[in-house]
Chain A
Amino acid sequence: MTALTTGRRQPAGPQPRAARRGLAGTGPLVLLALRRDRIFLLIWLYVIVGGLASTTYSFRHLYITEAQRASLALSIRNNPSFLALSGPVYGNSLGSLIIWKAGLFCAVAAALLGIFAVIRHTRGDEEAGRLELLGATVVGRYAATAASVAETFGACVLIGLLIAVVQVLFGLPAAGSLALGAAVALTGWMFAAVAAVCAQLTESARTARGMAIAVLGLSYLLRAVGDPAASLHWLSWVSPLGWVERIQPYSGARWWLVGLCAVVSVTLAGLAALLAGRRDLGEGWLPARPGRAQGPAWLRTPLALAWRLQRGGLLGWALGFAVTALVLGAAAKDVGSSLNSSPQTRDVILRMGGHAGLVDAYLAIELGLLGVVAAAFGVAAVLRMRGEETEQRAEPVLAGPVSRIRWAAAEVMLAAGGTGLLLAVAGLATGLAYGLSTGDVSGQLGRLLGAALAQVPAAWVLTGLAVALFGLAPRLAIPAGWTLFGVAALLTLLGPSLRLPQWALDLTPFAHVPRLPGGDFTAVPLLWLTAVAVALTGAGLAAFRRRDLT
């Protein structure tokens, strides 16, 4: 026996064989992942490539002459808040201006695509027990990690190529367009690889996703601090997003940075596979903290349960809002002076932001943006109910002496309250930062808190819409809820600059919010919005009370 086995197996060497065995089944898993993600990937592809293409289209018409472009580039370089939000601009070429406007957006979107896709097929499937089912077939130890990384890397390459093609079709230089495509694709690669490593660390898909997104957020912040200040440029060099910016595609692309990003991605992905191969299925490398043996005394109502389940997420959102709002508020003071030099931009800002001072217009835009993002929290918190229903976690609660209305109302209250809390945080942080920079904290704090809170009723309308869908059309609630949110968000953010007709702009609840700060405060639209939100919520709850749990 021994003679037989040793005689045959030795020559091939154990190492390459083990590695190949570890990858067994990767091909079918890639196909499975593509099959499961086909809609998801198409949406991301559309958002990223479409977002860039629409920017390119509008910039070609907005900045025609060299003088116009130079004036915009100059105003960007003089404005720390622009640099903090969107990164530096290299040269005065049209391509560089487009990258300044949309490049970081595309890169962050690609990074999120990578994070979501990889976690979904690694730790997500593992936590749900699906990997166990697959692992019992001929699937190697590295296969799940390798397959998710391969799928995501492939999708990113496709997006990069499409970007290059679209930009060339718009008449931009081919080499620069290719570098831009590579920059976006490699951002996706790097964060997909980061996510693959995070997936090995914790037992929970949610925690792993949170960790990867935290790395992305930190990368964004490092470069947001580093980009505007010459003395702090080194901070941008610590951030992967900073490297991507510094590829500077349309002004002498630095291909060695492209190579660096690729090497980092592949190394991290390899590390993830190595970590995956050396642990037990279901386990993480970080020790799992034990929970409490007893429920805390306050955990006795549906509202307490909703809070217990969502407090971590809400805290994360609040932190994100606080940091973003602080950066925006601190940058606001410089907006007015530098914007005056570019009539086009000023025109756009005025169109979007109302008629008072430019700073107020800028703050109104940013608070409106945060209003839309806060609504996303509310919609997600409401649609979570549908998840609780389909995963049968609502059942044990509803089998207790808890009426449908009481359970659903608790979840809705958390969603609505959370939305309000986030906007209050945004208002206070903006007010604090802007007040400190202008030496008028007491004045600005109340003014900007009020302006932020004015967004709340509009956000609640979207929350109410999600409740109505949950009650009336439960099977459609999640896709329809997010689609409607997406439409409202796009109309709010892009509608004004696309010069859509007024009736189309009026479809988003945010169009009816008075432009604050700076505009005239009128309570009537806010009351209307609140009434609509209440009516939608009531209709949804009433329908939920009367329908089967499905």
Chain B
Amino acid sequence: MTAVIEVDGLRKSFGRARALDGLDLTVVPGEVHGFLGPNGAGKTTTIRVLLGLIRAGGGTARLFGEDPWSRVTTLHRRLAYVPGDVTLWPNLSGGEVIDLLARLRGGLDEKRKAVLLEKFELDPAKKSRAYSKGNRQKVALIAALSSGAELLILDEPTSGLDPLMEAAFRECVEEERQAGRTVLLSSHILSEVEALCDRVTIIRAGRTVDSGALADLRHLSRTSVRAELDRPPEGLDGLAGVHDLDLAGTRVSCQVDNSALDELLVRLTRAGVRSLVSQPPTLEELFLRHYTDQP
């Protein structure tokens, strides 16, 4: 089975600024793949290379096994794209834009379009200049989701959506997965990726720093714990599965593998717990703690 997206050692510089510096990304058919990284990591640049909008500076990029730069029209017939920052023609209505983008691709599923318009509560008769950022994003999303394309490339598609619309968006991605389509979802929000994706690729400063199934990424299967205790705790130091321990008198903060969570809590309760906060690590923490020193 050939990969839908196969990027290997991709490089790209703009003047002296290096945007991509040996990036790897593999997306296999039928998966929802999270493409995770902080702002400026090179997510959009990678996508623009994959769309043939800019040329790779080094390394290889393959879309459906073909060169995205030279095979633009054949490849684009098979994909739909939602940019992160959607700009539309101000004097065209949302409905006109949706129909135009779909027809350029060869047609759209009218029934699905009607369902999506309903679901995202979009008024297609409004001129684009009157749309908010979220509504412009909905226009691009509806055009992409009603296209029936094999591959959806979504660049931070929920950045302007409210929580209700985000839920609608997640349902749609789930439907696409069940229909056997492939999705590349770029994001800087870990929880969104966790909720939707089968596998993730984490990038930083133009390089891939981690990639795999979510469950396999050990950094992601940790819990971050902060606690305030009655007395200084004992026996935390050197406890297997506890990382980044920060002990200051009666205050504790650390990251713990989920397998060692039980043991940690036992020791904390022994010292008398006054308050406890536990949460999955945020992307920021991951980058701060695990990916900063890696090249």
Q: Is B72 an interface residue (CB 8 A)?
A: yes
Q: Which of B94-112 contact A (CB under 8 A)?
A: 94-101, 103-106
Q: Is B30 an interface residue (CB 8 A)?
A: no
A458 to B222, CA, bound (A): 70
Q: Which of B63-114 contact A (CB under 8 A)?
A: 72-77, 79-81, 83, 85-101, 103-106
Q: Is the CB of A401 within 8 A of B77?
A: yes
Q: Is the CB of A294 within 8 A of B95?
A: yes
Q: Which of A293-315 contact B (CB under 8 A)?
A: 293-296, 299-302, 304-305, 308-309, 312
A403 to B70, CA, bound (A): 10
Chain B residues with CB below 8 A from A391, complex form: 87
Contact of A299 with B100 at beta-carbon distance under 8 Å, contacts A291-B127, A398-B53 already known: yes
Q: Is the CB of B92 within 8 A of A549?
A: no
Q: Is the CB of A293 within 8 A of B74?
A: no
Q: Is A334 an interface residue (CB 8 A)?
A: no
* Interface membership of chain A positions 279-294, coded 1 if the CB is closer than 8 angstroms to chain B and 0 otherwise: 0000000001111111
Q: Is the CB of B96 within 8 A of A291?
A: yes
Chain B residues with CB below 8 A from A125, complex form: none
A426 CB to nearest chain B CB (Å):
27
A302 to B64, CA, bound (A): 25
* Interface membership of chain A positions 309-345, coded 1 if the CB is closer than 8 angstroms to chain B and 0 otherwise: 1001000000000000000000000000000000000
Q: Is the CB of A295 within 8 A of B95?
A: yes
A97 to B219, CA, bound (A): 84
Q: Is the CB of B73 within 8 A of A309?
A: no
Contact of A204 with B91 at beta-carbon distance under 8 Å, contacts A288-B127, A293-B124 already known: yes
Q: Is B286 an interface residue (CB 8 A)?
A: no
Q: Is A548 an interface residue (CB 8 A)?
A: yes
A206 to B143, CA, bound (A): 27
Q: Which of B253-289 contact A (CB under 8 A)?
A: none
Q: Is B184 an interface residue (CB 8 A)?
A: no
Contact of A402 with B76 at beta-carbon distance under 8 Å, contacts A299-B103, A300-B100, A309-B91 already known: yes
Measured CB to CB, the nearest residue on chain B to A402 is: B104
Q: Is the CB of A396 within 8 A of B140?
A: yes
Interface centre among B79, B83, B96, B97 (most CB of A within 10 A): B96
Contact of B72 among A203, A295, A403 (CB under 8 A): A403
Q: Is A254 an interface residue (CB 8 A)?
A: no
Q: Is the CB of A300 within 8 A of B53?
A: no
Q: Is A1 an interface residue (CB 8 A)?
A: no
A316 CB to nearest chain B CB (Å):
14
Q: Is the CB of B54 within 8 A of A397?
A: no
Interface size class of B (residues with CB under 8 A): 35 or more
Q: Is the CB of B105 within 8 A of A401?
A: yes
Chain B residues with CB below 8 A from A400, complex form: 76, 101, 104-105
Q: Is the CB of B104 within 8 A of A401?
A: yes
Q: Is B48 an interface residue (CB 8 A)?
A: yes
Q: Is B185 an interface residue (CB 8 A)?
A: no
A308 to B100, CA, bound (A): 11
Measured CB to CB, the nearest residue on chain B to A290 is: B125
A230 to B100, CA, bound (A): 55
Q: Is A395 an interface residue (CB 8 A)?
A: yes
* Interface membership of chain A positions 392-409, coded 1 if the CB is closer than 8 angstroms to chain B and 0 otherwise: 110111111111101000
Measured CB to CB, the nearest residue on chain B to A398 is: B53
Chain A residues with CB below 8 A from B54, complex form: 548-550
Q: Is the CB of A403 within 8 A of B48?
A: no
Contact of A392 among B73, B76, B87, B106 (CB under 8 A): B87
Q: Is the CB of A299 within 8 A of B99?
A: yes
A369 CB to nearest chain B CB (Å):
31
Q: Is B25 an interface residue (CB 8 A)?
A: no
Chain B residues with CB below 8 A from A288, complex form: 127, 130
Q: Is A127 an interface residue (CB 8 A)?
A: yes
Chain A residues with CB below 8 A from B81, complex form: 395-396, 399
Chain A residues with CB below 8 A from B72, complex form: 398, 401-404
Q: Which of A235-256 contact B (CB under 8 A)?
A: none
Q: Which of B108-140 contact A (CB under 8 A)?
A: 124-127, 129-130, 140
Interface centre among B53, B95, B97, B130 (most CB of A within 10 A): B53
Q: Is the CB of A295 within 8 A of B99?
A: yes
Q: Is the CB of B93 within 8 A of A127?
A: no
Q: Is the CB of B93 within 8 A of A293?
A: yes
Contact of A300 with B127 at beta-carbon distance under 8 Å, contacts A401-B73, A548-B53 already known: no
Q: Is the CB of A291 within 8 A of B105?
A: no
Q: Is the CB of B83 within 8 A of A293?
A: no
Q: Is the CB of B95 within 8 A of A292?
A: yes
Chain A residues with CB below 8 A from B95, complex form: 291-295
A391 to B83, CA, bound (A): 12
Other A-B pairs, 5, CB within 8 Å; known A294-B96, A399-B79: A289-B127, A296-B96, A399-B76, A401-B73, A548-B55
19 example contacts (A-B, Cβ-Cβ < 8 A) are as follows A292-B125, A293-B93, A294-B95, A294-B99, A295-B95, A300-B104, A305-B100, A309-B92, A312-B91, A393-B88, A393-B89, A396-B140, A397-B104, A398-B72, A399-B53, A400-B105, A401-B75, A401-B104, A403-B73
Q: B interface vs A, CB < 8 Å?
A: 48, 51-55, 72-77, 79-81, 83, 85-101, 103-106, 124-127, 129-130, 140, 143
Q: A interface vs B, CB < 8 Å?
A: 127, 203-204, 206, 288-296, 299-302, 304-305, 308-309, 312, 391-393, 395-404, 406, 548-550
